[in-house]
């Protein structure tokens, strides 16, 4: 029996944050019913066609779920979702600001009838304050949280290459729901959870916030180099490749001086004695390191650094990550079915020994329309042509 078997989740979700949270729950065995707009569905279905004709975002975020198309403004469909909610353990929603209240699917309304219900609302900026109705997408929240001030080169800011604000939000929603389920086991009471993207990414930003504010120094963009630790970043190999290495403390600096730079006198050189000294003289250290490794190729440098105990890494592309030898050796990949065909999926980061994650198929839009209607209201939908709308439209109910 998987940890969350028997738990039912109804999710009015789209894009990344909420689907990322509910997918983690589905992997743990929860039943996740995904409510989608008729004819369009979650607009993440149409971000691209990279995975056998399916969206890379959608197949990543939605395995193991059931899909039902419902127009929540139509009384018959509203009756279906209300029937599902009456049997749900958890409701998750990241609809447009105010939409859940207009549809009577907000926490206050639903929990008045069922105090044991766990209700999780995900938003960009929270339910109060001057930004409460402001649209929030991942890159925009990265801007508001100060992330672009510390990401990129000195000349140009850069976004993080993944949906980091959405992912942070989804993980806090996931852990919050798990916490609420544990608390309900102890007390019988449900919970009202709220997760804002600005808060989630803001938590991850506090180190540079503190460093800048309390250190009275402007935020810096340092490219691929660490902003506050040196040496820590990319170094050119003799074959033109790039190797990353990291020195975290004085002991490791001493090892680098002896084993790689072959100059023990640098250990106590006042320019490099402590991390703050090394950070101030990072350009000098870079020249020393690149001179020392100029006669070695990338593979030789990695092997040398591993041997002498200096943390290091080679730069891989996303495609190369799929072939990572460490993941292959640990058998971390599984095959998951999707409407367009099977694809490779990475096992959840937390492994339950002796128990495989569920990792069910990715649903086609409305794949469970008939079965879910029969289960919850005892009828099937009337056979009417589906009115197709712009597939890139945002879910603004």
Taking only the tens place, the pLDDT of each residue in 97-106 is 999 999 999 9
**63, 155: one domain:** yes
pTM of the model: 0.90
- pLDDT tier for residue 218 given thresholds of 50, 70 and 90: confident
- pLDDT tier for residue 382 given thresholds of 50, 70 and 90: low
- Angle ∠(340,343,344) on CA atoms, nearest 5: 170
β 232-236/242-246 pair status = antiparallel
Taking only the tens place, the pLDDT of each residue in 136-167 is 999 999 999 999 999 999 999 999 999 999 99
Using the CB atoms, write b or e for 128-148: b if 16+ within 10 Å.
eeebeeeebebeebbebbbbb
Q: What is the mean pLDDT of residues 200-211?
A: 96
Query: What 3-state class would DSSP assign to 343?
Result: strand
| pLDDT of the residue at 268 | 94
**182, 74: one domain:** yes
| pLDDT(394) > 50 | no
What is the biggest distance separating any 2 CA atoms in the chain, rounded to whole angstroms?
Answer: 83
**98, 194: one domain:** yes
Strand partners, 31: 8
**272, 329: one domain:** no
Answer yes or no: is 122 within a domain.
yes
Q: Of the candidates 315, 338, 356, which is a domain's last residue?
A: 315
Q: Of the candidates 278, 296, 315, which is a domain's last residue?
A: 315
Q: What is the mean pLDDT of residues 246-251?
A: 96
Q: Of the candidates 265, 297, 315, which is a domain's last residue?
A: 315
Which residues, other chains included, contact 58 with Cβ-Cβ below 8 Å and sequence gap of 6+?
42, 44, 45, 47, 362
| pLDDT(383) > 60 | no
**189, 144: one domain:** yes
| pLDDT of the residue at 381 | 56
Q: What share of the chain is helix, strand, coil (3-state, %, to 5)?
A: 40, 15, 45
**200, 342: one domain:** yes
**126, 81: one domain:** yes
Share of the chain above pLDDT 90, in %: 92
Answer yes or no: is 92 within a domain.
yes
Answer yes or no: is 157 within a domain.
yes
**74, 160: one domain:** yes
Answer yes or no: is 149 within a domain.
yes
Answer yes or no: is 258 within a domain.
yes
Other Cβ atoms closer than 10 A to 5? 11
| pLDDT(291) > 70 | yes
Q: What is the mean pLDDT of residues 276-281?
A: 96
| pLDDT of the residue at 391 | 35
**358, 254: one domain:** no
Q: Which of 226, 262, 304, 324 is catalytic?
A: 226
| pLDDT of the residue at 387 | 43
Q: Considering its fold, how many domains does the chain have in total? A: 2
Q: Is the Cβ–Cβ distance between 215 and 209 less than 8 Å? A: no
**239, 268: one domain:** yes
Taking only the tens place, the pLDDT of each residue in 332-372 is 999 999 999 999 999 999 989 989 999 999 999 999 999 99
- Residue entry with tokens 């506090």: 206
| pLDDT(193) > 50 | yes
| pLDDT of the residue at 380 | 63
Share of the chain above pLDDT 70, in %: 95
CATH code assigned at 98: 3.40.50.10540
| pLDDT(125) > 90 | yes
Answer yes or no: is 38 within a domain.
yes
CATH code assigned at 253: 3.30.1540.10
Answer yes or no: is 101 within a domain.
yes
| pLDDT(384) > 60 | no
Cα(370)–Cα(389) distance, rounded to whole angstroms?
22
**194, 267: one domain:** no
Show the domain range for 349: 8-205+325-377
| pLDDT(117) > 80 | yes
**253, 146: one domain:** no
**Mean pLDDT, the chain, integer:** 93
| pLDDT(385) > 80 | no
Q: What is the mean pLDDT of residues 293-306?
A: 96
Judge whether 14 counts as a catalytic residue. no
Cα(138)–Cα(134) distance, rounded to whole angstroms?
13
| pLDDT(124) > 90 | yes
β 311-314/90-93 pair status = unpaired
| pLDDT of the residue at 107 | 96
């Amino acid at each position: 029996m998987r940890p969350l078997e028997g738990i039912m989740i109804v999710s009015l979700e789209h894009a990344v944050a909420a689907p990322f949270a509910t997918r983690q729950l589905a992997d743990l065995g929860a039943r996740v019913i995904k409510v989608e707009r008729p004819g369009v569905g979650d607009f993440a279905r149409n971000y691209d066609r990279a995975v056998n004709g399916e969206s890379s975002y959608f197949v990543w975020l939605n395995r193991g779920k059931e899909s039902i198309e419902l127009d929540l403004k139509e009384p018959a469909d509203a009756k279906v979702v209300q029937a599902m909610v009456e049997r749900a353990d958890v409701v998750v929603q990241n609809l447009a600001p105010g939409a859940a209240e207009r549809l009577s699917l907000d926490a206050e309304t639903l929990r008045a009838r069922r105090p044991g219900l766990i209700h999780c609302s995900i938003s960009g900026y929270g339910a109060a304050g001057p930004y409460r109705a402001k649209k929030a997408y991942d890159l925009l929240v990265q801007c508001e949280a100060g992330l672009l001030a510390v990401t990129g080169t000195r000349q140009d800011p850069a976004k993080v290459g993944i949906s980091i604000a959405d992912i942070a939000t989804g993980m806090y929603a996931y852990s919050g729901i798990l916490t609420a389920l544990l608390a309900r086991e102890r007390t019988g009471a449900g919970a009202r959870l709220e997760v804002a993207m600005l808060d989630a990414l803001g938590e991850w930003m506090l180190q540079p916030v503190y460093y800048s504010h309390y250190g009275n120094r402007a935020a810096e963009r340092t490219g691929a180099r660490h902003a506050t630790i040196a040496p820590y970043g990319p170094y050119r190999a003799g074959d033109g490749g790039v190797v990353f290495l990291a020195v975290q403390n004085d002991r490791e600096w001493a090892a680098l001086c002896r084993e790689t730079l072959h100059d023990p006198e640098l250990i106590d050189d006042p320019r490099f004695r402590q991390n703050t000294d090394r950070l101030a003289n990072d350009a000098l250290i870079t020249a020393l390191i690149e001179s020392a490794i100029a006669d070695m190729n990338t593979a030789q440098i990695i092997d040398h650094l591993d041997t002498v105990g200096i943390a290091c890494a080679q730069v891989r592309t996303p495609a190369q990550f799929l072939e990572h030898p460490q993941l292959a050796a640990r058998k971390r990949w599984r095959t998951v079915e999707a409407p367009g065909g099977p694809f490779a999926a990475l096992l959840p980061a937390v492994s339950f020994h002796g128990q495989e994650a569920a990792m069910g198929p990715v649903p086609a839009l409305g794949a469970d329309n008939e079965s879910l209607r029969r289960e919850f209201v005892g009828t099937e939908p009337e056979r009417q042509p589906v009115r197709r709308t712009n597939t890139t439209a945002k879910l603004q109910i």
